[in-house]
Amino acid sequence: MSRVGKYPVPVPSGVTVQIAGKALSVKGKLGESALTLSDDVDVTVDGGLVTVNPVSETKRARMMWGTTRALINNMVKGVSDGFTVNLEINGVGYRAAVQGKTLQLQLGFSHDVDYPIPDDVTIKCEKPTAIAITGRDKQRVGQIASEIRAYRGPEPYKGKGIKYETETILRKEGKKK
């Protein structure tokens, strides 16, 4: 039994949810998102709530019940509030800057790393050591944050590199004499 799927998704004011066949679309102030629904679940919109129910009692239907509810919830939150992932840069001479549609990273390499900013995501650098990635699609924002972090992940000895704001780095002791 899904524990997530039991709860209906509340739709805030300013957000519209429409179902046409097996396609669900959500519109809000930050844009529009769409989802193709599985045959294993039945989705209904009544009032300000979106409810998801399994069609049968098969294992796949129960899995898709919670998954579909979570995807719809993330879409509703994304078009109304958006998602943000913050990255921190640690290291002497390590910094980031936004140049037009490119994120320019200086990470101790002999060259600068240029990351092209996609159209569906905004990247801001309030400080040279802080990057804020914002967008309406939770998966896309997390993927872009992961790609940027992968250029120079945090190392355990000095803590240099790019890390998530909430991440803690387990530090190791250096060599002993």
Span 21-46, pLDDT tens digits: 899 999 999 889 999 998 999 999 98
Residue with tokens 């050591």: 129
User: What residue segments make up the domains of the chain, in order of their start?
Assistant: 9-80, 83-164
Q: What is the DSSP string of 134-151?
A: EES-HHHHHHHHHHHHHT
Per the prediction, the chain carries an average pLDDT of 91
Domains 9-80 and 83-164 share a fold: yes
pLDDT band at 102 (very low <50, low <70, confident <90, very high): very high
| Fold of the domain spanning 83-164 | Outer Surface Protein A; domain 3 (3.90.930)
Distance linking the first and last C-alpha atoms of the chain: 58
Token pair recorded at residue 28: 């809000």
Q: Which CATH superfamily is domain 9-80 in?
A: Ribosomal protein L6 (3.90.930.12)
- Closest to 138 measured CA to CA, from 82, 63, 87, 59: 82
Q: What is the pTM of this model?
A: 0.87
Residue with tokens 């002497």: 92
Span 138-168, pLDDT tens digits: 999 999 999 999 999 999 999 899 999 999 8
